[in-house]
A and B are shown apart, each in its own frame.
Chain A
Amino acid sequence: MTGISSAAPWIPLLILLPLMAGALSFLFGPRGHRSLLAATMTGIWFSLIRLILDFENAGLQHYPIGGWGAPLGIDLRADGLSLAMLGMTATVGSFISLYALGYFAGDENRGIRFWPLWWLLWGALNAVFLSADLFNLYVTLELLSLSAVGLVVLAGDRDSLAAGLRYLLAALAGSLAYLMGVALLYGAYGTLSLERMAGLFRPEPANTLAASLITVGLMLKTALFPLHFWLPPAHGSALAPVSALLSGLVIKASFYMLLRLWFEVFPSALTEVFTQGIGSLGAIAVFAGAWLAFHQEKLKMLIAWSTVTQVGYLFLTFPLAAASSTSAPAALSGGVYLAVSHAVAKAAVFLAAGAMLKVTDEDRIDRLEGVGRHLPISLFAFAMAGVSLMGLPPSGGFIAKWLLLNAALSSGQWWWAAVLVLGGLASAAYIFRVLRRCFLPPREYAAFHPVPLVMPLAALSLAGIALALGLAAAYPLRLLQTGAPLLLEASAPSTVAP
């Protein structure tokens, strides 16, 4: 395995800082949480940038915690994929934090409960993306799920409570399936380190069972059809900033683990049946999700269902990447880039919708006539982010679709190309269903509460980034492909499906 064993503090700081912030914000409540936010965000960005620089110089970064090193200790590790995910988290997280400052301005009571949970969730995400240990990944996943559920029930009404419980049960079941798989693998190979496991893993039936348990558990957490039932209520009933980070970031963690495990640890177990099957589930999710999104009455439920479709897209990565060694790099870059652009765009959409809801108290789509006159910025952000969700240029979503289409056609799998293209049209249908209402002559709203400017601006900035990802894709993609064991592994013939 290439790369260096790093002693630089950047990797652990990315995990310690948010956890520390969580403890402090709980300890001190509302007092000085702005300065805490400023300090922690600065720290995280500084560490991340330093880490990226180290990575560019030295490639893959290993960090043996406590100096023990795997297999006795736990290793942290940063490759291109981890960095992409960390960057995504930092970007989306920063703007959601700013948005939350405005969102909870009038609601101290929820604000003081939001921040500790959100900081721990941020820490959990960074921990997932940096961990190189199967059991440690389980702990980070639990940290993630519990903080996510805590944020869902923050709304406190019966809907969000029920949704939160549904989410909690699904997440717990998923974790146990994952842990059972890990238990089997540990029993078979006596190690928990990803890299050692990658070297040892053989696709014998027992190990394949373990891998499939792990996969099902993570599919449940990623909400891939038919295991998506928990997502729409949870993402639809939560508070706007929470929905944004659930749809944008949380589901990406388990998807990241699936990519990591299948294309680094279990590639030898990749079979045509599995990849085509999981791709078909994705395809169903794309169309069924779009259909349901189109028929929602409430704006946030529409967006939540749109997340189900986008998750479906993500899983097209598997058949495209496993099909041939030539299509693998394009497919994996495309899949990851889709995850990143969806995070940014979907967060922007939820934040914009949240602003509209807070201002007008209207959750029904057919009552949004001319909302643009009251909230031009939010509406504009919604539209811009919508472009990325439809996969139209110039946007990150388009670049991702371009790469995935390339992979599909270069591996001769035209049916996935069809899904990609038709799915884009389906998404356009439900997004324009919202946008077209805004050209109707404006109506007067019963309630009208002005919101702090930071809210629409945060949404707009994220939407702008979603579009910028479509014009400045060269650098992130190059970063993704340098020294990434995953992509290198995938482009080796070993992963060609039998």
Chain B
Amino acid sequence: MSAVYGPIRQIAAALAWILGIGLSAAIVALSRPDFGLAELVEAHLEESGVRHPVTAVLLNYRGYDTLLEIAVLLLAVLGILAFRPPGPASIPDAAPDSSPVLAALSRLIVPLIVLAAGYLLWAGAHRPGGAFQAGAVLAGGGVLLRLTGTIPSFESPNAWLRVSLVVGLGVFLAVAALPLFEGSRLLEYRTAEAAMVILVVESALTVSIAAILATAFIGAAPPRIRCMSPSRPAHSAEGERAGQS
């Protein structure tokens, strides 16, 4: 094993060095662009509907990237759900730690989290912030509630969860497609509407991102996996093979 493996380690080290040195040399030697996008970004900021250039790039100039990116996020959850073992959870779902202090604290802190998320969302239009930050913060709240056992785990996502998972992608797709019906291009907003459209999209994204991140945390750990006895893997593996054909 290790005999085979020995060389690999040296080769990897050598490659890493070559890569590092080559790349450093490259970025020094790299020719400089005689043109940058920065000016263009500023120039069209007015039409973009937001005052913060990064948000403008994210949701308007290169909104298409963001559209696909939210699909990627959703995929993480779809993938996780794809291999979840079928059938009801074997062990009843017990909260890991149900100390009253923690519960009380979380009940206090969650409203603040929601507030903070709302601010981040609103702020995104003109300063650092936006849907992803807001969604991440909300997801944090979700994880907290899960850890305190306030919200239960789930076998397969119910209708509400499914809606909140896809609302971001759904709304974004709809908004992106709307211009097609009036003969203009994908994601082509009139300057007047842009601000409003972007706000709608951002809000929907916030909901979905929060739901996706929280589900990724909760969904990845079906209740029955929690305790790990040595005999368990083999046995559950048997069950698994029986389960799938």
Tell whether A and B belong to one assembly.
yes
Report which A residues bind B (CB closer than 8 A). 7, 9, 12-13, 16, 19-20, 22-23, 26-27, 29, 63-68, 71-74, 109, 113, 116-117, 120, 123-124, 127, 135-136, 139-140, 142-143, 146-147, 149-151, 153-158, 160-161, 164, 180, 184, 187-191, 202, 204-207, 209-210
Q: Contacts A23-B170, A113-B81, A146-B75 given; 18 further ones with Cβ under 8 A?
A: A7-B184, A19-B173, A65-B63, A65-B185, A66-B186, A72-B41, A120-B71, A120-B75, A135-B62, A157-B241, A158-B241, A160-B83, A184-B27, A187-B27, A187-B30, A190-B37, A191-B35, A209-B26
Name B's interface SS: helix
A-B contact pairs, 11 of them (CB 8 A): A12-B186, A23-B169, A26-B166, A68-B61, A74-B64, A136-B65, A143-B71, A147-B79, A155-B244, A191-B37, A210-B26
The CA-CA distance from A156 to B87 in the complex, in Å, is 13
Q: Is the CB of B185 within 8 A of A16?
A: no
Find out whether the CB atom of A157 lies under 8 angstroms from the CB atom of B244: yes
How many whole Å from B106's CB to the nearest CB in chain A? 30
B162–A184 touching, CB < 8 Å: no
Interface size of B as a range: 35 or more
Could you say which residues of chain B place their CB within 8 Å of the CB of A19?
Answer: 71, 169, 173
Given A158-B240, A206-B29, decide whether A23 and B173 contact each other with a Cβ distance below 8 A. yes
- Nearest chain B residue, comparing its CB with the CB of A16: B177
CB distance from A189 to the nearest CB of B (A): 5
Chain A residues near B76 (CB, 8 Å)? 146
A124 to B68, CA, bound (A): 8
Q: For residue B180, which residues in chain A have a CB less than 8 angstroms away from its CB?
A: 9, 12-13
Q: Is the CB of A157 within 8 A of B162?
A: no
B78 at the interface (CB under 8 A from A): yes
Q: Which residues of B contact A127 (CB under 8 A)?
A: 68
**Residue pair B71, A22 in contact (C-beta under 8 Å):** yes
A180 touches B65 (CB 8 A): no
Shortest beta-carbon distance, B180 to chain A, in Å?
Answer: 4
Residue among B69, B75, B81 with max Cβ neighbours from chain A (10 Å): B75
Asked if B244 and A67 make an inter-chain contact with CB atoms under 8 angstroms apart, the answer reads: no
Interface residues of chain B, those whose CB is within 8 Å of chain A, are 22-23, 25-27, 29-37, 40-41, 44, 60-65, 68-69, 71-72, 74-76, 78-79, 81-83, 85-86, 162-163, 165-166, 169-170, 173, 176-177, 180, 183-189, 237, 240-241, 243-244
CB < 8 Å neighbour of A180 from B23, B81, B170: B23
- Take A120-B71, A206-B29, A209-B26 as given contacts and tell me if A161 and B177 are in contact as well, using a CB distance cutoff of 8 Å: no
Say how far A11's CB is from chain B's closest CB, in angstroms.
8
User: What residues of B have a CB within 8 angstroms of the CB of A120 in the complex?
Assistant: 71, 74-75, 78
Residue ID in chain A nearest B29 by CB atoms: A206
A142 touches which of B25, B72, B79 (Cβ 8 Å): B72
Residues of chain B contacted by A116 (CB below 8 angstroms): 78
Q: Which residues of B contact A74 (CB under 8 A)?
A: 62, 64-65
Which residues of chain B have C-beta atoms less than 8 A from A161's C-beta? 83
Closest to B237 in A: A158
A150 touches B72 (CB 8 A): no
Contacts of A26 in B (CB 8 A): 74, 78, 162, 165-166
B5 to chain A, nearest CB (A): 15
Q: How far is the CB of A176 from chain B (nearest CB, A)?
A: 12
